[in-house]
């Protein structure tokens, strides 16, 4: 699906096109969430949709899709995570999401919103880790409101450039994640090497 196809859906189904394309993002829609949200903002300038209902349906689509991940993680536990691990493309994102949870705890949910793919993996992990729904909703829904607002407003200013800019943000986010993951691996290797040398030095003493 590309920008023109998304516009066609919006022309046919109105506000609900924004909701369902974002809600289905949990199963991997072939168009970045950033592009969908910015398109929601862009069509309000064109007069296709009204601003307030378009924003509300976009926001509900974002949080309901991610909430589905939380519910699946909470109810089904590790089996669904193991199923995700079988997808080679997702494996590094799962590892990075687990690193975020270990390092930042609840704040990992806030950070994940601004990282492509990780934002969809994180709800599974929080559900599996039995975070209370109240805490999940407070953290995720408030951050989701800010994230949606930023990209929705950006779409109102970008107009016909939504596809290019949204895809650029998404692709650079992927590259950034790859660099961060590589950095984590290097740090772990260095620490293990130092630990091994210290242990070897102690044995010689």
Confidence of residue 52 (pLDDT cuts 50, 70, 90): very high
Q: What is the rounded average pLDDT for all residues in the chain?
A: 76
Distance CA 24, CA 19 (A): 9
Beta-carbon contacts of 94 under 8 Å, excluding residues fewer than 6 positions away, are: 81, 84, 85, 121
Answer yes or no: is pLDDT of 175 > 70. Answer: no
The secondary structure of residue 161, as a DSSP letter, is G
pLDDT number for residue 154: 83
pTM: 0.74
Answer yes or no: is pLDDT of 54 > 90. Answer: yes
Better-predicted residue by pLDDT, 103 or 131: 131
């Amino acid at each position: 699906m590309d920008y023109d196809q998304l516009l066609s859906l919006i022309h046919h189904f109105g506000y609900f096109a924004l909701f369902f394309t974002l809600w289905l993002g949990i199963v991997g829609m072939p168009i970045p969430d950033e592009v969908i949200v910015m398109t929601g903002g862009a069509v309000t300038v064109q007069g296709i949709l009204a601003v307030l209902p378009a924003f509300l349906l976009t926001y509900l689509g974002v949080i309901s899709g991610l909430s589905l991940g939380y519910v699946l993680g909470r109810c089904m536990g590790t089996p669904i995570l193991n199923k995700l691990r079988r997808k080679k493309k997702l494996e590094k994102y799962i590892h990075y999401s687990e690193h975020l949870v270990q390092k930042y705890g609840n704040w990992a949910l806030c950070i994940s919103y601004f990282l492509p793919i990780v934002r969809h993996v994180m709800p599974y992990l929080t559900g599996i880790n039995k975070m209370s729904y109240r805490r999940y909703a407070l953290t995720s829904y408030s951050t989701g409101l800010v994230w949606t607002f930023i990209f929705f407003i950006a779409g109102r200013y970008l107009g016909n450039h939504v596809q290019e800019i949204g895809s650029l943000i998404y692709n650079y986010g992927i590259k950034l994640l790859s660099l961060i993951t590589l950095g984590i691996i290097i740090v772990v290797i260095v620490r293990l090497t130092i630990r091994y040398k210290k242990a070897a030095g102690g044995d010689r003493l």
